[in-house]
Amino acid sequence: MNTVHGLSRRKFLLGSGGVVTLALAACVAPVPAGDTAQEAAAPAMPEALEVDLWHGLGGADGKTFTELVGQYMEENDHVTVNEELLTWDIFYQKVPSSVIAGNPPDMIITHEWAIGQWGPRRVLSAADDFYDSMGVPRDDFIPAVFENIHYEGSPLGVLLDTHGSGGYLNVALVEAAGLDPAAPPTNRTEFVEQMSLLTLDSQGRNPTDAGFDPEDIVQYAFHSHFWRRWAMLEGMWQNGGNTINEDGTQATIDSEEVTEALAFWHTMVHEHHLHAVPVGYSMTDSYQNNTLGLAIAGSWWRNFIQDSNLVDTTTFWRVPQYGLVEPVAWMSAHVMGIPTGTDEEGTMGASDLIVWLSNHGLDWARSGQPPARISLQNDQVLQDHWHTGNFGSQFQAIGRTEQQHANITEIQNAYQQEFEAVITNVKTVSEGIAEAQLRVQEVLDRDA
């Protein structure tokens, strides 16, 4: 009989097979905790918990969030929250990678607009339990925002805030131009008239003055921070247009509404000289240096305004209506969710932190982000605040979210690149519109 060091071949093969079987069994992908942990009876809270939290709150609002997490850990000394701050770009590639690898964090904070692409890709667990048994009220959120975080009938997380764009007005510059900060423009004509008084060349001339030198502008009237995204959306929405139709099957970029909006934007930059050519221009530098009249920026700018000692010279304006149909401001939200594959203990810790953060919306509002819950948004102290109360009221009145789609990032990228080419004079309006329409339609058709 053939033996291996005294072991029979049969025994050796049997033993090896057993070892391999065990090894393979150990390699089986873990069952997503989202399906099991939440269905099981709630186990007792362990004595010590660690919660791995990934987010991208690295802007001016980030320091408030870290303070808030510290406050949570002080109140719950058995919990350690391991915050990992990532840039949003890295965040959006690391989260899916971690889910595929079966090693996701216990909790993430993502954006409302991203739920459309997370949903079909099963990145986040359903979050019905928060509303059914953990006391988060379903009816205390702006309906359009809350609706947008649903996939197949279930919410995929809990809203942390409602954020978006709004106007930061340099009061001194506006008054110096002879305008009244308390009387914002209400239509396109008024908007162009008022803003024309805010743009100045080095000789102090406005674009409507004789001899104005567009190559020597030292002060612009306004600028939109994420202009590729919000400004373009707000422009087309204010005209009654959109990027895609309601069921997400047709690109609607070549509509009259969107074409007119883009053409008007081009005019504002190159004919009225109200807005700088956006590439290579720093809006924050300009606003800090008093060479920008109106900054359309995010609600998370509150800490930046405070830290730059600009509170006394800044007041809030709603996003001005320069479109032809109605005023609209872009809004979105941060969503707290539990990734698919998070283990039971992680889910338990994350759930507790999510509920705590949801209940502490007023504390989070210190960052400038209006709380997600309408009841907190309407809190009198918040309403009286020059910044956050106004942002909240604006979102309730004229806020609008982007339409969800499984490939929303690719759709955004397609039309934003083409629109930028128009605004920077690389393409004409009709070329940009035609190309954007084609590219977005290709994305829609691919997954039809």
> To the nearest whole angstrom, how small is the minimum distance from the Cβ of residue 345 to another protein?
25
Of 228, 330, 344, nearest to 279 by C-alpha is 228
Q: Which residues ranging from 16 to 75 are in contact with another protein (CB under 8 A)? A: none
Of 92, 88, 115, nearest to 403 by C-alpha is 115
Q: Which residues ranging from 168 to 227 are in contact with another protein (CB under 8 A)? A: 215-216
373 versus 439: smaller Cβ distance to another protein: 439
Binding segment for another protein (CB under 8 A), chosen from 4-12, 57-65, 187-195, 270-278, is: 270-278
Of 131, 39, 104, 45, nearest to 348 by C-alpha is 45
Distance of CA 243 to the CA centre of its chain: 18
31 versus 426: smaller Cβ distance to another protein: 426
> Is 121 an interacting residue with respect to another protein (CB under 8 A)?
yes
In the three-class reduction of DSSP (H, G, I as helix; E, B as strand; rest coil), residue 336 is classed as strand
396 versus 409: smaller Cβ distance to another protein: 409
Cα separation, 177 vs 192, whole angstroms: 14
Cα separation, 73 vs 80, whole angstroms: 6
74 versus 89: smaller Cβ distance to another protein: 89
123 versus 335: smaller Cβ distance to another protein: 123
Cα separation, 347 vs 180, whole angstroms: 52
Member of 176, 281, 362, 378 binding another protein (CB under 8 A): 281
- What burial class does residue 448 get, using C-beta atoms within 10 Å of its C-beta: 0-12 exposed, 13-18 middle, 19+ buried? exposed
> To the nearest whole angstrom, how small is the minimum distance from the Cβ of residue 274 to another protein?
15
111 versus 427: smaller Cβ distance to another protein: 427
Member of 33, 37, 108, 123 binding another protein (CB under 8 A): 123
Please write down the HEC assignment for all residues of 305-332: HHHCCCHHHEEEECCCCCCCCCCCEEEE
117 versus 369: smaller Cβ distance to another protein: 117
Member of 73, 85, 86, 100 binding another protein (CB under 8 A): 100
Q: Which residues ranging from 283 to 342 are in contact with another protein (CB under 8 A)? A: 285-286, 289, 291
6 versus 204: smaller Cβ distance to another protein: 204
> Is 122 an interacting residue with respect to another protein (CB under 8 A)?
yes
Element (H, E) at 294: strand 292-298
Instruction: Tell me the backbone φ, ψ of residue 310, rounded to 5 degrees.
Output: -110, 5
Calculate the dihedral angle through the C-alpha atoms of 384, 176, 268, 402, rounding to the nearest 10 degrees. Answer: -10
> To the nearest whole angstrom, how small is the minimum distance from the Cβ of residue 285 to another protein?
5
Cα separation, 89 vs 83, whole angstroms: 17
- What burial class does residue 129 get, using C-beta atoms within 10 Å of its C-beta: 0-12 exposed, 13-18 middle, 19+ buried? middle
> Is 421 an interacting residue with respect to another protein (CB under 8 A)?
yes
Member of 407, 436, 440, 444 binding another protein (CB under 8 A): 407
> To the nearest whole angstrom, how small is the minimum distance from the Cβ of residue 301 to another protein?
19
Cβ neighbours of residue 192 under 8 Å, at least 6 residues apart? 268, 272, 274, 322
Cα three-residue angle 90-164-338, rounded to 5 degrees: 45
> To the nearest whole angstrom, how small is the minimum distance from the Cβ of residue 171 to another protein?
21
> To the nearest whole angstrom, how small is the minimum distance from the Cβ of residue 269 to another protein?
10
Q: Which residues ranging from 341 to 400 are in contact with another protein (CB under 8 A)? A: none
> Is 92 an interacting residue with respect to another protein (CB under 8 A)?
yes
> Is 156 an interacting residue with respect to another protein (CB under 8 A)?
no
- Tokens for 196, please give them: 């024309």
> Is 410 an interacting residue with respect to another protein (CB under 8 A)?
yes
51 versus 423: smaller Cβ distance to another protein: 423
62 versus 96: smaller Cβ distance to another protein: 96
Cα separation, 258 vs 261, whole angstroms: 5
Cα separation, 326 vs 323, whole angstroms: 7
In the three-class reduction of DSSP (H, G, I as helix; E, B as strand; rest coil), residue 92 is classed as helix
Q: Give the interface with another protein as residue ranges (CB under 8 A).
A: 89, 92-93, 96-97, 99-100, 117, 120-123, 215-216, 276-282, 285-286, 289, 291, 407, 409-410, 413, 417-418, 420-427, 439
